[in-house]
Amino acid sequence: MRQTSGVRGDLRLRPVRPAGWWFDGLLLAAVVALTVALASGHLFGLDRAVADWSDDNRPTAARWVAMTLNLLGQGTPLTLLAAGLGVLLALRLRSVRPLLPPVVGFVLTFFTVGPLKVWTARPAPSASVKEPFLSPEQTLPLFQHDLPVRFAQSYPSGHVANAIVWYGVLALLLAPLVRSFGRTVPPRLVTVVRVVPPAVVFCTTVYLGWHWLTDSVAGLLLGLLLDRLLRRVPWDDLPLPRRLGDWARPVAWSAPPATSATR
Residue 12: predicted pLDDT: 87
pLDDT at 256: 41
pLDDT for the residue numbered 211: 96
Mean pLDDT rounded to a whole number for the chain:
90
Q: Which segments in the chain show pLDDT lower than 70?
A: 1-10, 254-263
Q: Are 73 and 159 in contact (CB under 8 A)?
A: yes
Instruction: Please tell me the distance from the alpha carbon of residue 83 to that of residue 86, in angstroms, as a whole number.
Output: 5
| Alpha helix (H) residue ranges in 60-126 | 60-70, 75-93, 100-110, 113-120
pLDDT at 10: 65
pTM of the model: 0.90
